[in-house]
Amino acid sequence: MTAHTLGRPDFDIISAWIEPGHRVLDLGCGDGTLLKHLIDTRGVHGVGVDVDDANILAAIKNGINVLQGNLEKGLDEFTDQSFDHVVLSRTLQTVRHTEGILREMLRVGREAVVSFPNFAYWKNLRSVLDGRMPVSEDLPYQWYDSPNVRFFTLFDFEALCAQMGLIIRERHVLDEGGNMVDNDDERELNFLGSLAVYRLTRSR
Protein backbone atom coordinates (compact mmCIF):
# COMPACT_ATOMS: atom_id res chain seq x y z
CA MET A 1 0.00 0.00 0.00
CA THR A 2 1.31 3.45 -0.95
CA ALA A 3 2.14 5.86 1.90
CA HIS A 4 0.35 9.21 1.65
CA THR A 5 1.51 12.50 3.15
CA LEU A 6 -1.82 13.32 4.78
CA GLY A 7 -3.19 9.79 5.05
CA ARG A 8 -5.52 10.53 2.13
CA PRO A 9 -4.47 9.74 -1.45
CA ASP A 10 -6.87 12.31 -2.91
CA PHE A 11 -5.21 14.99 -0.75
CA ASP A 12 -1.84 14.14 -2.33
CA ILE A 13 -3.28 14.59 -5.83
CA ILE A 14 -5.14 17.78 -4.95
CA SER A 15 -2.02 19.25 -3.34
CA ALA A 16 -0.01 18.61 -6.50
CA TRP A 17 -2.56 20.58 -8.54
CA ILE A 18 -2.40 23.70 -6.34
CA GLU A 19 0.22 26.29 -7.23
CA PRO A 20 2.08 28.35 -4.59
CA GLY A 21 0.28 31.49 -3.48
CA HIS A 22 -3.05 30.55 -5.03
CA ARG A 23 -6.41 31.24 -3.38
CA VAL A 24 -8.13 28.05 -2.22
CA LEU A 25 -11.66 27.50 -0.91
CA ASP A 26 -12.16 24.09 0.75
CA LEU A 27 -15.83 23.09 1.03
CA GLY A 28 -16.56 20.55 3.75
CA CYS A 29 -13.08 21.25 5.07
CA GLY A 30 -13.41 19.11 8.22
CA ASP A 31 -10.63 19.89 10.67
CA GLY A 32 -8.71 21.85 8.03
CA THR A 33 -5.99 19.24 7.44
CA LEU A 34 -5.76 19.86 3.69
CA LEU A 35 -5.78 23.64 3.96
CA LYS A 36 -3.18 23.63 6.73
CA HIS A 37 -0.93 21.47 4.55
CA LEU A 38 -1.41 23.79 1.56
CA ILE A 39 -0.75 26.88 3.66
CA ASP A 40 2.39 25.36 5.22
CA THR A 41 3.85 23.90 2.01
CA ARG A 42 2.57 26.18 -0.75
CA GLY A 43 1.76 29.44 0.98
CA VAL A 44 -1.81 29.47 -0.32
CA HIS A 45 -4.48 31.87 0.89
CA GLY A 46 -7.03 29.43 2.22
CA VAL A 47 -10.62 29.58 3.45
CA GLY A 48 -12.63 26.62 4.72
CA VAL A 49 -16.37 26.04 4.94
CA ASP A 50 -18.04 23.41 7.10
CA VAL A 51 -21.42 22.93 8.73
CA ASP A 52 -20.33 20.88 11.75
CA ASP A 53 -19.55 22.71 15.01
CA ALA A 54 -16.83 20.25 16.04
CA ASN A 55 -15.12 20.55 12.65
CA ILE A 56 -15.27 24.36 12.83
CA LEU A 57 -13.58 24.31 16.24
CA ALA A 58 -10.92 21.83 15.08
CA ALA A 59 -10.18 23.92 11.97
CA ILE A 60 -9.82 27.08 14.06
CA LYS A 61 -7.38 25.24 16.34
CA ASN A 62 -5.44 24.34 13.19
CA GLY A 63 -5.18 28.04 12.39
CA ILE A 64 -7.63 27.90 9.48
CA ASN A 65 -9.84 30.81 8.43
CA VAL A 66 -13.14 28.92 8.45
CA LEU A 67 -16.79 29.86 7.97
CA GLN A 68 -19.83 27.89 9.04
CA GLY A 69 -22.14 27.28 6.12
CA ASN A 70 -24.55 24.80 4.55
CA LEU A 71 -23.43 23.92 1.03
CA GLU A 72 -27.02 23.15 0.03
CA LYS A 73 -27.76 26.88 0.33
CA GLY A 74 -25.07 27.88 -2.14
CA LEU A 75 -22.02 30.12 -1.79
CA ASP A 76 -23.65 33.55 -1.82
CA GLU A 77 -21.09 34.93 0.64
CA PHE A 78 -18.37 34.63 -2.02
CA THR A 79 -18.04 36.83 -5.11
CA ASP A 80 -17.50 35.56 -8.64
CA GLN A 81 -14.03 34.19 -9.43
CA SER A 82 -12.66 35.07 -5.98
CA PHE A 83 -10.64 31.81 -5.76
CA ASP A 84 -8.23 29.96 -8.01
CA HIS A 85 -9.38 26.54 -6.77
CA VAL A 86 -12.53 25.37 -5.02
CA VAL A 87 -12.13 21.92 -3.46
CA LEU A 88 -14.89 19.45 -2.59
CA SER A 89 -13.20 16.26 -1.36
CA ARG A 90 -15.27 13.13 -0.60
CA THR A 91 -18.29 15.34 -0.03
CA LEU A 92 -20.21 15.46 -3.33
CA GLN A 93 -22.04 12.23 -2.46
CA THR A 94 -23.50 13.94 0.63
CA VAL A 95 -24.96 16.88 -1.33
CA ARG A 96 -28.55 16.81 -2.58
CA HIS A 97 -28.25 19.68 -5.06
CA THR A 98 -25.35 18.26 -7.06
CA GLU A 99 -25.64 20.49 -10.14
CA GLY A 100 -26.12 23.56 -7.99
CA ILE A 101 -22.94 23.09 -5.96
CA LEU A 102 -20.86 22.35 -9.07
CA ARG A 103 -22.14 25.55 -10.70
CA GLU A 104 -21.43 27.53 -7.55
CA MET A 105 -17.90 26.10 -7.31
CA LEU A 106 -17.13 27.30 -10.82
CA ARG A 107 -18.81 30.63 -10.23
CA VAL A 108 -16.60 31.52 -7.26
CA GLY A 109 -13.51 29.66 -8.52
CA ARG A 110 -11.48 29.43 -11.68
CA GLU A 111 -11.19 25.68 -11.18
CA ALA A 112 -13.13 23.03 -9.27
CA VAL A 113 -11.46 19.98 -7.73
CA VAL A 114 -13.76 17.12 -6.77
CA SER A 115 -13.08 13.67 -5.28
CA PHE A 116 -15.67 11.00 -4.59
CA PRO A 117 -16.06 7.25 -4.01
CA ASN A 118 -16.94 5.27 -7.14
CA PHE A 119 -19.96 3.07 -6.56
CA ALA A 120 -19.10 0.90 -9.59
CA TYR A 121 -15.91 -0.34 -7.90
CA TRP A 122 -15.96 -4.12 -8.11
CA LYS A 123 -15.91 -4.72 -4.34
CA ASN A 124 -18.93 -2.44 -3.94
CA LEU A 125 -20.82 -4.34 -6.63
CA ARG A 126 -19.86 -7.68 -5.10
CA SER A 127 -21.17 -6.51 -1.74
CA VAL A 128 -24.49 -5.51 -3.30
CA LEU A 129 -24.72 -8.88 -5.07
CA ASP A 130 -24.17 -10.49 -1.67
CA GLY A 131 -27.17 -8.54 -0.43
CA ARG A 132 -25.35 -5.91 1.66
CA MET A 133 -24.54 -2.25 1.13
CA PRO A 134 -20.77 -1.78 0.75
CA VAL A 135 -18.53 -0.57 3.57
CA SER A 136 -14.93 0.25 2.66
CA GLU A 137 -12.10 2.74 3.13
CA ASP A 138 -13.81 5.09 0.69
CA LEU A 139 -17.38 4.28 1.81
CA PRO A 140 -16.79 3.95 5.55
CA TYR A 141 -20.35 4.24 6.88
CA GLN A 142 -23.06 1.71 7.56
CA TRP A 143 -26.27 2.23 5.58
CA TYR A 144 -28.14 3.44 8.67
CA ASP A 145 -25.68 6.16 9.77
CA SER A 146 -24.31 7.30 6.41
CA PRO A 147 -24.34 10.99 5.44
CA ASN A 148 -24.31 9.90 1.79
CA VAL A 149 -27.42 10.67 -0.24
CA ARG A 150 -25.98 9.90 -3.70
CA PHE A 151 -24.28 6.78 -5.04
CA PHE A 152 -22.79 7.26 -8.49
CA THR A 153 -20.03 6.08 -10.80
CA LEU A 154 -17.30 7.63 -12.93
CA PHE A 155 -19.57 7.34 -15.97
CA ASP A 156 -22.44 9.02 -14.12
CA PHE A 157 -20.27 11.95 -13.03
CA GLU A 158 -18.71 12.44 -16.46
CA ALA A 159 -22.13 12.36 -18.11
CA LEU A 160 -23.28 15.09 -15.71
CA CYS A 161 -20.19 17.18 -16.52
CA ALA A 162 -20.95 16.85 -20.24
CA GLN A 163 -24.59 17.77 -19.65
CA MET A 164 -23.51 20.88 -17.71
CA GLY A 165 -20.83 21.85 -20.23
CA LEU A 166 -17.98 21.38 -17.76
CA ILE A 167 -14.50 20.55 -19.01
CA ILE A 168 -12.58 17.73 -17.33
CA ARG A 169 -8.99 18.98 -17.33
CA GLU A 170 -7.55 16.03 -15.47
CA ARG A 171 -8.70 12.82 -13.81
CA HIS A 172 -7.04 10.32 -11.50
CA VAL A 173 -8.63 7.01 -10.51
CA LEU A 174 -7.34 5.15 -7.45
CA ASP A 175 -7.81 1.68 -6.05
CA GLU A 176 -8.73 1.03 -2.42
CA GLY A 177 -5.06 1.15 -1.41
CA GLY A 178 -4.67 4.62 -2.91
CA ASN A 179 -2.65 3.39 -5.89
CA MET A 180 -3.21 4.90 -9.32
CA VAL A 181 -5.29 2.71 -11.65
CA ASP A 182 -3.95 2.87 -15.21
CA ASN A 183 -6.20 1.24 -17.77
CA ASP A 184 -7.10 2.35 -21.30
CA ASP A 185 -10.41 0.52 -21.15
CA GLU A 186 -12.90 2.97 -19.61
CA ARG A 187 -15.27 0.19 -18.53
CA GLU A 188 -12.48 -1.63 -16.68
CA LEU A 189 -11.30 1.64 -15.13
CA ASN A 190 -14.82 2.23 -13.81
CA PHE A 191 -14.78 -1.30 -12.38
CA LEU A 192 -11.31 -1.13 -10.80
CA GLY A 193 -11.36 2.37 -9.30
CA SER A 194 -12.52 2.92 -5.72
CA LEU A 195 -11.91 6.69 -5.61
CA ALA A 196 -11.80 9.33 -8.33
CA VAL A 197 -10.34 12.85 -8.35
CA TYR A 198 -11.33 15.38 -11.03
CA ARG A 199 -10.11 18.80 -12.04
CA LEU A 200 -12.86 20.83 -13.73
CA THR A 201 -13.26 24.17 -15.50
CA ARG A 202 -16.12 25.86 -17.30
CA SER A 203 -16.38 25.94 -21.07
CA ARG A 204 -15.73 29.46 -22.33
Predicted confidence pLDDT, tens digits, the chain (204 residues): 456 767 788 999 999 999 999 999 999 999 999 999 999 999 999 999 999 999 999 999 999 999 999 999 999 999 999 999 999 999 899 899 999 999 999 999 999 999 999 999 989 889 888 898 888 877 888 878 887 788 899 999 999 999 999 999 999 999 998 999 988 899 999 999 999 999 999 976
Q: Which segments of the chain does DSSP mark as H helices, in order?
A: 9-17, 33-42, 53-61, 98-108, 122-129, 154-164, 186-192
Number of H helices, E strands in the chain: 7, 7
- pTM of the entire predicted model: 0.92
Q: Which CATH class is domain 9-202?
A: alpha beta
Q: Which segments of 77-172 does DSSP mark as H helices, in order?
A: 98-108, 122-129, 154-164
The ranges assigned to domains in the chain are 9-202
User: What whole-number distance in Å separates Cα of residue 201 and Cα of residue 28?
Assistant: 20
